[in-house]
Structure 1
Amino acid sequence: MALLGILAPQTGVSHALDPGYLELVSVDESRWRVTWRVPDVNGRPMPIEALLPETCTHEPPPFTFDGRAWTARWIAVCPDGLAGGDIVIGGLETTRTDTLVRYELTPGKVQVERLTAATIGFTIPPEAGPLDILQSYVGLGITHILEGIDHLIFVFALVLLVRGRARLLWAITAFTVAHSITLAAAALGTLNLPPPPVEAVIALSIVFLAYELALPPERRDPFAERFPWVVSFSFGLIHGLGFAGALREIGLPQDDIPLALFAFNAGVEIGQILFIAVVWAVGAALYRLYPMLAQHGRALTRGAGYAIGSLAAFWVIDRVLVF
């Protein structure tokens, strides 16, 4: 319950924790089309600055506000190219957000870096090798799942619902296989669905699990009880489309699409396993510190079901209104 209170949406606050986004798209050997998007903080752009390599000449125009964040677009001229230069997000060290940097050394060759308050800049390598791509996209996958509150709550509900660690392992494995399939299909353009309905169905999948959690074990759907992996596989197909939406925004290196897909999906799984491990560890610690909790397991699970269902129902309504 405390976890849900932390994860619940907060109304009336700024978007200061939203990530920044810097994109440099290659136009030719010396010019790059720059998109710089920063979070809104109390009606103004967050005071962070995109600093390109010193050899680049650029004049950022004023920001425009789109209702969520502030964006500026311009052309940067870098006679010596980007390789070997430094990209720094000035002021990022004083924030609690991060910035995704997506850039091309040459047209179509996308590379990605994630900068944080602890690491506000990096030196652009001459060309990303397989190890660089693997490291970058695994990190992006871990970050995405750990910041994807709806996906985490779905996994949390599975942990509460499925009895027995072996059965839970099979359910999580089915969820993994399913979202790997649709993630690859959507990221490669084979499967293309608009994001708003996908996000609404993801929230609806959480409502389904929450409903089951709120019921006494003897009244739960016998099919879901006997074959939880079928349920998790079915909903995993939808969640994979949600992961793909994030991956499309990041972009894929055209020369190493299979490796980037594998690395991103591996990162998602690592983040998911870390989350489950934390849930188990916290649960074990609570039961050890407060043994009386074991006597109220059903009531706690039912309460969690109502809390998760209320939050997910809010998401369903909110996302349907976006249609």
Structure 2
Amino acid sequence: MPAPGPLVWVRKAARRSLAVLPLLVLLAVPAAGHVLNTDLSKLSRTEIFGTYLQLGFTHIIPLGFDHILFIVSLYILEPRLKPVLLQATAFTVAHSITLGLAMYGLISPPSHIIEPIIALSILFVAIENIITDRLNPWRVAIVFGFGLVHGMGFASALTGLGLPAKDYFGSLISFNVGVELGQVAVILLCWALVGRWAAHKTWYKQRVVVPASVVIGLVAAYWTVERVFFT
């Protein structure tokens, strides 16, 4: 009997995904934003570093559900640490560039354009995961481009908080380090839950990559429509 084709896999994955889709849609509701109730003028540089490190981390976990889904999408296609860390490095370099440029006022990206593009980037990676069987070399360049956009999204959150005048650059760096630590935590969690034991299974594509990508793609499509037409 011939092996089922990709379309059969997608149909089966879609049926499996319907059970968890309502939960993910609920999770897609925007989380509460950052609140900074600390008088930064009374803090030492070390305390400021720790404060913005924590803010950067919490911007990913638990507040950055869209960024979490993007990182998960990057991971599941090739669930080994080395390939995903290479992609994560390209993503980090890119978002560091645009985050810094935005915070220093050199660029001013409009959030009503950036946020839908972030959603579309997640949808793009999810679709690529479904239609391809291996990690293509050009994905690193694509991830770098998406990282530039995500960095502008990070900047919109950080702009609302502001940066302390006495250590502007240091707090910017610590926020970025916190973001990176949040991303690495997501990658390691994916590896521990899935990659460590399922990566080399013959059914990995059919039972993990496709169902997860279908769900992520549907959530990203929902976000795209919501951010274009309702925000």
TM-score norm. by structure 2 comes to: 0.82
From 119, 130, 133, the counterpart of 1:214: 130
* 2:24 is aligned with 1:8: yes
SS in 2 for 1:242: helix
Does the C-alpha gap of structure 1 residues 262 and 249 become closer, same or farther in structure 2, counting only changes over 3 Å? same
Query: What CA deviation, in whole Å up to 9, does each residue of 1:234-254 have, x standing for no partner?
Result: 100000001001100111001
Q: Post-superposition shift, 1:211?
A: 0.8
- 2:37 corresponds to: 101
Corresponding residue for residue 314 of structure 1: 222
Matched, 1:18 2:32: yes
Aligned partner of 2:205 in structure 1 is 298
Quick check: which one's helix share is greater? Answer: 2
**Which one has more relative contact order, counting CA pairs under 8 Å at least 6 apart?**
2
Using structure 1 for the length normalisation, give the TM-score.
0.60
User: What is the identity, as a one-letter code, of the residue corresponding to 1:255?
Assistant: K
Listed one character per residue, the Cα deviations across residues 2-37 of structure 1 (whole Å, up to 9, x for unaligned) are 9x75961229x9x9x73584xxxxxxxxxxxxxxxx
Which structure: larger Rg? Answer: 1
- Name the structure 2 match of 1:280: 191
RMSD of equivalent CA atoms: 2.7
Contact 2:77 2:129 in 1 (8 A): yes
Q: CA contact under 8 A between 2:79 and 2:191: conserved in structure 1?
A: no
Identity %: 35
Following TM superposition, by how much is the alpha carbon of 1:170 offset from its aligned partner in structure 2, in angstroms?
A: 1.4
1:241 aligns with 2:156: no
For 2:192 and 2:223, the matched residues in 1 are separated by 28
Matched residue, 1:155: 71
CA distance in 1, matches of 2:227, 2:131: 26
| Structure 2 CA distance for partners of 1:217 and 1:201, relative to 1, 3 Å | same
SS in structure 1 at match of 2:37: strand
Cα shift readout 1:167-216 (whole Å, capped 9, x = no counterpart) = 22211100000000001111111110111210100000011101111114
- Secondary structure at 1:233's aligned position in 2? helix
Structure-2 change in CA distance of 1:135 and 1:163 (3 Å): closer
How many residues are aligned here?
211
Letter in 2 for 1:314: Y
AA paired with 1:166? K
Matched residue type, 1:252: L
- Matches of 1:20 and 1:294 in 2, distance apart? 41
In structure 2, the residue corresponding to 1:207 is in which secondary structure?
helix
Give matches, 1:1-323, under 5 Å. 8-10=24-26, 18=32, 21=35, 100-103=36-39, 111=40, 127-146=42-61, 147-162=63-78, 164-217=80-133, 225-284=136-195, 287=198, 294-300=201-207, 301-322=209-230
Deviations 1:47-82 (A, max 9, x none): xxxxxxxxxxxxxxxxxxxxxxxxxxxxxxxxxxxx
Paired letter, 1:308: I
Does the 8 A contact of 1:213 with 1:304 survive in 2?
no
Q: State the 1:228 CA deviation.
A: 2.2
Contact persistence 1:167–1:228 (CA under 8 A): no
> Structure 1 residues 203 and 184, CA, compared in 2 at 3 Å: closer, same or farther?
same
Q: Does the 8 Å contact 1:145/1:152 carry over to 2?
A: yes
Give per-residue Cα distances to partners, 1:277-318, cap 9 Å, x unaligned: 11111115764xxx9x92321112112221111110000000
CA contact (8 A) 1:145 1:271 kept: yes
How far apart are the structure 2 equivalents of 1:20 and 1:264?
12
Distance in 2, matches of 1:248 and 1:7, equals 31
CA contact 2:114–2:153 (8 Å) conserved in 1: yes
Contiguous gaps of at least 5 residues in structure 2? 1-16
**Pair 156,7 (structure 1): closer, same or farther in 2 beyond 3 Å:** farther
